[in-house]
Structure 1
Amino acid sequence: MDFISREDLSFLLHDWLNVSALTEREAFGEHSRDTFDAVLDLAADLARDTFAPHYKSADANEPRLVDGKVETLPAIAEALATYAEMGFFASSFPEEVGGMQLPSVVSSAAFAHFCAANLATAAYPMLTAGNARVLVEFGNQAQIDTWAKPQVEGRYFGTMCLSEPQAGSSLADIRTKAVPEGSDDFGDRYRIKGNKMWISGGDQQISENIVHLVLSKAPDENGVQQPGIKGISLFVVPKILPDGTRNDVAVAGLNHKMGYRGTVNCLLNFGEGEGAIGWRIGQPGQGLALMFQMMNEARIMVGLGAAAMAYRGFTQSLEYARERPQGRPLGQKDPNSPMTAIVEHADVKRMVLSQKAIAEGAMALVLYSASLVDEIKTGADAATRARAEALLGLLTPITKSWPSEFGLVANDHAIQIHGGYGYTREYDVEQIYRDNRLNPIHEGTYGIQGMDFLGRKVMGDKGAALAILGEEIAKTTARAAAVPALAKMAADLTGYFNDGCAAITELQGRADPARLMDNAGQALSAFGHIVTAWLWLEQALTAHDLDDSRARLRDGKLATCRFFFEVELPKVSHQLHLLRSANDAAAAVSSDLF
C-alpha cells in the first residue's frame, strides 16, 4: 500500500500550489507536469518496493560496532543503491553539479514517500543532500568537485557534526579544536581534534566515503581565538582522504535509540592520533552562519519526516478501523445482528479525523515551506525573493516543530484505534510512534524552536516577518469571506491571528526582559495552530471549487477543515492567555522544590 495518498499530494501540488507554473521559470523550464508526476509515481513505487520491506527488520536488527567497523542491515544498502541509481540523491540540485534541477516543492513531495516508507533509511539521503548543498553554496571548486558531486551521485554520504557530549544545542560551548596546517589544492588545511556526539550516519559501510561537516573552534586570520560562536569555523573532514588513506576519525561508540534504529548514530573521535585533516569552508568565524543552511534545511526535512509518519499512522489506522468489526450501533439489541466496523463509532471517527487534520495539515505546511525555497531561488524580482525569505525564516521553527509535536498526537490516536494490537510489534503503529518520537528533539527541541520563533523571528525583526504572514492570511480570509460555508472560519482565523499579535505586544510591555522567553513554547504552539488553520482554509477554498467527480476529496477536505477550526483552533486561546499574562507558574518555581 502507499502510505501517503497520491490523490492528496496531487491536490496539494497541482490544485493548490499550482507547481506547473514553475515550469515557466528558466530554472525549471526543462520540466513539465508530466515529468513532475513521473517523479512522484517513481518515488511512490520505489519507496513501497525497496524502502518499506525492511522497515521492521532494520528496527529489529540495529547497527553493530564490530572490530571498529559499523555493520548495518544489507537491505538498507540495497535500497539506497537503487535510490541513487534512479537519481533521487540529485533531485533538487542544479544541473551544473549533476542534479535533476527539480523544484524543492516537488522534490520534497517525492521524498515524503521515502520518509513514510522507512524514516531511518531516508535519513541517509536527507543528511547527504544537506551536506552537499552547503559545499555547493559555500565551498571552493575543488571541494565541490571532490566531495559535493559524489554525494549528488549518491556514492558518498554526508553528515553534520555539531553537538558534543558536553554541548548539545549550546554550540558556543563546543571544545573541538582546529589548528592551521597551511593550504593545498583544497583550501586552508587544519588538524582537528575533539569529540562529536549524536552523529547520524557517522560511520557505515554503505557508501564509498563519508563527508563530515564539522564545527570547530579555530583561530582567526590573526591567529587569535575568538570567544563563543565568533570563534567557530566549518570544516569538511572526509573519512577517506583524497589520496585514498584513512583520515584520523574513529567511532568511539554507537547510540541505541528508541526509534530511527536503522540510522547509525555515533560518538566520533576526531584526532585520536595526529589529528583529523579538514579543510575550512568559507572564512574563519563563519562556521555557524554557514552551517545554518544545513540546519534550516534539516529542520524542514524533520518536519517532512514527522508529517510523513503522521500520515502513515493515519493511513494504516484508517484501514484497520474499516476492517475491524466490533460492537453494534446504539439501540441495536439483537446479539445476532452484524457487528459494525469500528470506524462507524463516534470516538473512532474523532481520532481518525484528528489524524487526518494533523497529517494533511502538516504536509501542507511542509510543502508550502518548500515552495518558499523555490520562490527565494527563482522569484521574479528581489522584493519577491526577500519577502519569501523573511516568511520562510518565520515559518521554519513552526515547520520543524508543529508536525513533530502534533504528529505524535496523531500517532497516539493510531495506536488507540488499533486497541490492544496497537502496542504490539505485530503492527506498525507502535514503531511509527517510536520513530516519530525522536523528531521533537532532532534539530532543536520544542523549547529552543520556541525561543527562535518568538525571540529571533518575531521580536528580533520587530514583527516585520509576522506582518508579511498577516498579509498572506488576510488574502486568504478575504477570499473565504465570500464563500458562505467558509465565512465564519475566515472571521475566526482573523481573530486568532490578531489576538496572537496582540498577546506578543502585551507580553513585551508586561514581562521582565529576562523573562520574555518563559512562554516561548506556548507562542510557537499557538502560531503553529494558527498557521495550520490558515493552510487548512487555503485547502478548503481550493477544494470548494472541485466538481462532483472529486466529491469525496472535496467533501473530505471541507469536513476536516471544519473539524480543525471547531476542535483544534480554539486551544490557541489558552496558550495566548499564558503568553500575554507572562505566566510564571513554571518559571518562578525554585528547582529545589522538585
Structure 2
Amino acid sequence: MPSYQAPLRDLQFVIHELNDFASHYQQLEGCEAIDASMLDAITEQAARFAEQAVAPLNAVGDIQGCQWQDGRVSTPPGFSEAFRQFADNGWLALEKPQAYGGQGLPPSMGSVVNDMLFSANHAWNMYINLTSGAVSTLYAHGDESLKQRFLPALIAGRMTGTMCLTEAHCGSDLGLLRTRAEVMSDGSYRITGSKMFISAGDHDMTDNILHLVLARIEGAPAGVKGISLFAVPKRLLNDDDSAGPANGVSCGSIEHKMGIHGNATCVINFDGSTGYLLGTANRGLNAMFTFINESRLAVAQQGQGHAEASFQGALRYARERLQMRAVPPQRPELAADPIINHPDVRRMLLTQKAFAEGGRMLNLACARQVDLLHHGLSESVREAAMRRLALLTPIAKGFLTETGIEAAQLGVQVFGGHGFIREAGMEQISRDVRITAIYEGTNTIQGIDLLNRKVLADEGRELENLFAEIEGFCLEDNVPPALAQQLSRYVGQWRELTGWVLDQRHNDSNLVGASAFDYLMQSGYVLLGYHWLRAATQAERQLAAGSSEHDFYIGKRETARFYFQRLLPRADQHVAMIRSGSGNLMAIPDAAFSR
C-alpha cells in the first residue's frame, strides 16, 4: 500500500513564495496576528495528523467500508477515533467563527489542511468537510437563534453536517423535488420526504447529525422558485445541545459504490421531522449555494489530492522497479535499470507532477480569494473577490477533477500489472477519484455554469480582468520570455474563442451546451499555465540567486517547461472541437443510435 507523505516543501513554496500568505493575512480583517512561523507550525502539525492518524485508515476504509444494519450505519475501524481526536484537538474549529467556539483563522488555512487530508483519506475527510459546509451555510443564512442552537455543537464536533438535495427521480434537476414542508404553530416546519446520495448521511462518529434539506413549503411556486432550505437534526437537541429525542430521521439504506467506501452514502428518510427555516422562504436554493460553492472548491481539492497521492505512489515505485535497460544504461551494476529512466514513464510521472503541483497552486489561489471574500477590508475588495471566485470555481472543480482522474489512471499504468491489484493501492485511488467529476454538479454542468452564467452573462467582463492580470504578469521582468510569449498567445486564443461563442450562440441554439465542457477544459489548461509560469519565474529567481535547494527549483522549472510543451497544447484540441459547432452532435436522429 502507498504510504502518504505530506508535501510540506511544496506547500511552503505555494504558501510563502507564490502567495506570501503572511503578508496577505495582514490585509485581512482580524487576521493580522498570523505570521509565517504560525503558518508553518499549523501546516506541520496537520501534516503529522494526516500521515499518522488518517492515512493508515485509507485502505481499511476501502476494504471494510461502512456497514448498514437495522437502520444504523457503522464506519470502518478507526474512523470514529480519528474524528474525535481531530475535533478534540481543535482542528474542526480552525477557521470557524470565534463567536461560536471557532478559532477565527482565515479560510485558506482550512484549505491547506484539506490539501493533506484529502490525499491521505478522501472518504474520512468528507465527514469533516461537509460539517464545515454546514457551518458556513448556517452562519451565512441562519438567524441568531439557529446559530446559537447548532453552531457550537458543529464546531466542537458533537454533531456533523450534511446537505440533502437529490431525490431519486430528479437528480440535478432540483425543480422536480417532492420533499415537502408544513408550517407548524410554533414557527417550525414538519419535513416529509426522501433524499438519496447523501454523503456522510449517517454514521456512528457522533450522536447527532444536522441535515440541511431542500424542501417545498405547501403552496409554494413550482420549480426552483418554490424551494426552501431547512435545518433538520437527526435528533432534537436538549438544552445543553446534547442529542435528545429522535426526530423522525432515518437511514433507509447505504449505496454500494465504486469507491470512497469509508464514507456512508445514504438514503435519508424524513418522516414528519422537525425542521427550521434557513434564510427566506422559497429562496432555499440561493442559500444552499453557499454550501454548494464551498463544496465545489473542496471537490477541486479532492481531485488534486488524488493526483498527489497517485504521483507519490508512482514515483516511489518507478525509482525501485527494475525493468529493461535505459538508453544509455543508468545502473550497470544492477540486472536492469529503474523504470524512472524510461522516457514514457517520465511522461506519465511529469504529467502527474504537473497536475498535482499545478492544481495545488490553483486551489490555494482560489482559497486566497475566499479569504478576501470573507475578511476583505472594504466592500470593493469583497465584491471583486466574489466576482473572481465565481469565475474560478467551476474551472477549478471541473478541470482539477478531470486531471485528477487522468493522474490516477497514470499511476495504475506506471505500476503495470501490479497497479491493477489491490495490494499496490493505486486502483483504490482510481476508484475513489472517479466520483469527483460527478459531485456538486457534473463537469458538464460546471462548464455550462462557467460559459453561460459566468462568462456570457456579463459579456466576459470578469474574464477580461483575469486576462489583464495574466498578460500583465507576462510582461514583468524576470519572467521566462519564451513561456510568457506562449502563454500570451493562449490567452489571446481564449479571448478570441469567447468572442466567437458570444457571436455564434445566436445562430446555433445548442452551441453553449455543445461547447461547455471543452470550454472549461481549454480554460483550465491556460489557467494552469499561468500558475506554472509563476512557479517557473520564482524558480529562475532562486536558481540565479544560488539557492541551496537546486534540485527542488530545477524540478519546478523543468516541470513548467514540460507543461508548456506537452500539456498546454491540448487547449488547441478543445478549441477545434468547440469551433466545429453542435451539428456533429445533434444531426444524428435518436433512432440512428440503435444498432
Identify the TM-score tier after normalising by the shorter chain.
over 0.9
- Report if aligned partners of 2:362, 2:531 keep a CA contact under 8 Å in 1: yes
Matches within 5 A, 1:14-163: 14-24=16-26, 25-163=28-166
> Which residue identity lines up with residue 573 of structure 1 in the other structure?
D
Matches within 5 A, 1:66-465: 66-183=69-186, 188-219=187-218, 224-243=219-238, 244-271=244-271, 275-330=272-327, 338-465=335-462
Secondary structure of the structure 2 residue equivalent to 1:530: helix
Work out the CA distance in 2 between the residues paired with 1:323 and 1:101.
45
Secondary structure of the structure 1 residue equivalent to 2:30: helix
Q: What TM-score do you get using the length of structure 2 for normalisation?
A: 0.95
Secondary structure of the structure 1 residue equivalent to 2:213: strand
Range moving further from structure 2, 436-445 or 27-36: 27-36
Secondary structure of the structure 2 residue equivalent to 1:471: helix
- Select the residue among 494, 501, 506 that pairs with 1:500: 494
Secondary structure of the structure 2 residue equivalent to 1:199: strand
Work out the CA distance in 1 between the residues paired with 2:330 and 2:323.
14
- Report if aligned partners of 1:306, 1:403 keep a CA contact under 8 Å in 2: yes
Deviations 1:187-237 (A, max 9, x none): x31111111010011111211210000001114xxxx42121110000000
- Report if aligned partners of 2:220, 2:227 keep a CA contact under 8 Å in 1: no
Range moving further from structure 2, 76-85 or 333-342: 333-342
Deviations 1:1-26 (A, max 9, x none): 54341100000000110011134244
Work out the CA distance in 1 between the residues paired with 2:464 and 2:109.
28
Deviations 1:550-583 (A, max 9, x none): 2112111111111111111111112112223424
Work out the CA distance in 1 between the residues paired with 2:522 and 2:501.
14
Determine the structure 2 residue equivalent to 1:551.
550
Range moving further from structure 2, 7-16 or 148-157: 148-157
Work out the CA distance in 2 between the residues paired with 1:588 and 1:522.
19
Deviations 1:456-512 (A, max 9, x none): 010011112111111211222112xx437x212111111112212211222232243
Deviations 1:234-271 (A, max 9, x none): 00000001241101112111111111110001011111
> Which residue identity lines up with residue 3 of structure 1 in the other structure?
Q
> Which residue identity lines up with residue 489 of structure 2 in the other structure?
G
Work out the CA distance in 2 between the residues paired with 1:3 and 1:444.
31
> Which residue identity lines up with residue 119 of structure 1 in the other structure?
H
Q: What TM-score do you get using the length of structure 1 for normalisation?
A: 0.95
Work out the CA distance in 1 between the residues paired with 2:334 and 2:194.
66
> Which residue identity lines up with residue 349 of structure 2 in the other structure?
V
Work out the CA distance in 2 between the residues paired with 1:472 and 1:235.
41
Secondary structure of the structure 1 residue equivalent to 2:361: helix
Work out the CA distance in 2 between the residues paired with 1:354 and 1:33.
31
Determine the structure 1 residue equivalent to 2:588.
589
4+ aligned runs moved over 3 Å, structure 1? 1-4, 330-338
Percent identity (aligned): 34
> Which residue identity lines up with residue 226 of structure 1 in the other structure?
P
Work out the CA distance in 2 between the residues paired with 1:239 and 1:437.
30
- Select the residue among 529, 534, 537 that pairs with 2:533: 537
- Report if aligned partners of 1:387, 1:468 keep a CA contact under 8 Å in 2: no
Secondary structure of the structure 2 residue equivalent to 1:443: coil
Q: What is the Cα deviation at residue 437 of structure 1?
A: 0.7
Determine the structure 2 residue equivalent to 1:5.
7
Work out the CA distance in 1 between the residues paired with 2:139 and 2:332.
68
Q: What is the Cα deviation at residue 333 of structure 1?
A: 13
Range moving further from structure 2, 563-572 or 96-105: 96-105
> Which residue identity lines up with residue 216 of structure 1 in the other structure?
A
Secondary structure of the structure 2 residue equivalent to 1:518: helix
- Report if aligned partners of 1:507, 1:582 keep a CA contact under 8 Å in 2: no
Matches within 5 A, 1:569-580: 569-580=568-579
- Report if aligned partners of 2:539, 2:553 keep a CA contact under 8 Å in 1: yes
Work out the CA distance in 2 between the residues paired with 1:405 and 1:334.
36
Range moving further from structure 2, 499-508 or 297-306: 499-508
Deviations 1:527-554 (A, max 9, x none): 0111111111111112221142121121
Work out the CA distance in 1 between the residues paired with 2:417 and 2:170.
40
Work out the CA distance in 1 between the residues paired with 2:162 and 2:558.
42
- Report if aligned partners of 2:508, 2:582 keep a CA contact under 8 Å in 1: no
Q: What is the Cα deviation at residue 335 of structure 1?
A: 9.3
Determine the structure 1 residue equivalent to 2:524.
528
Q: What is the Cα deviation at residue 338 of structure 1?
A: 3.9
- Report if aligned partners of 2:295, 2:440 keep a CA contact under 8 Å in 1: yes
Work out the CA distance in 2 between the residues paired with 1:545 and 1:388.
29
Change in Cα spacing, 1:134 to 1:21, as seen in structure 2 (3 Å) is: same
Deviations 1:406-429 (A, max 9, x none): 111111111111111101100111
Work out the CA distance in 2 between the residues paired with 1:336 and 1:84.
52
Secondary structure of the structure 2 residue equivalent to 1:28: coil
Q: What is the Cα deviation at residue 334 of structure 1?
A: 12
Q: Give the count of matched residue pairs.
A: 580
- Report if aligned partners of 1:325, 1:341 keep a CA contact under 8 Å in 2: yes
Q: What is the Cα deviation at residue 384 of structure 1?
A: 2.4
Secondary structure of the structure 1 residue equivalent to 2:192: strand
Range moving further from structure 2, 380-389 or 193-202: 380-389
> Which residue identity lines up with residue 147 of structure 1 in the other structure?
F
Q: What is the Cα deviation at residue 332 of structure 1?
A: 5.8
Deviations 1:82-105 (A, max 9, x none): 111111111111221211222222
Q: What is the Cα deviation at residue 337 of structure 1?
A: 5.8
Work out the CA distance in 1 between the residues paired with 2:430 and 2:144.
43
Q: What is the Cα deviation at residue 513 of structure 1?
A: 5.2
Q: What is the Cα deviation at residue 30 of structure 1?
A: 3.1
Q: What is the Cα deviation at residue 329 of structure 1?
A: 2.5
Secondary structure of the structure 2 residue equivalent to 1:328: coil
Change in Cα spacing, 1:23 to 1:448, as seen in structure 2 (3 Å) is: closer
Work out the CA distance in 2 between the residues paired with 1:403 and 1:589.
32
> Which residue identity lines up with residue 199 of structure 2 in the other structure?
S
- Report if aligned partners of 1:504, 1:579 keep a CA contact under 8 Å in 2: no
Q: What is the Cα deviation at residue 296 of structure 1?
A: 0.3
Change in Cα spacing, 1:332 to 1:62, as seen in structure 2 (3 Å) is: closer
Work out the CA distance in 1 between the residues paired with 2:10 and 2:434.
25
- Across the aligned residues of Structure 1 and Structure 2, the Cα RMSD in angstroms comes to 1.7
Work out the CA distance in 2 between the residues paired with 1:558 and 1:408.
24
Secondary structure of the structure 1 residue equivalent to 2:282: coil
> Which residue identity lines up with residue 527 of structure 2 in the other structure?
V
Change in Cα spacing, 1:286 to 1:326, as seen in structure 2 (3 Å) is: same
Gaps of 5+ in 2: 239-243
Work out the CA distance in 2 between the residues paired with 1:182 and 1:175.
23
Determine the structure 1 residue equivalent to 2:463.
466
Work out the CA distance in 2 between the residues paired with 1:225 and 1:64.
38
Work out the CA distance in 1 between the residues paired with 2:386 and 2:270.
36
> Which residue identity lines up with residue 51 of structure 1 in the other structure?
V
- Report if aligned partners of 1:252, 1:267 keep a CA contact under 8 Å in 2: yes
Work out the CA distance in 1 between the residues paired with 2:173 and 2:455.
21
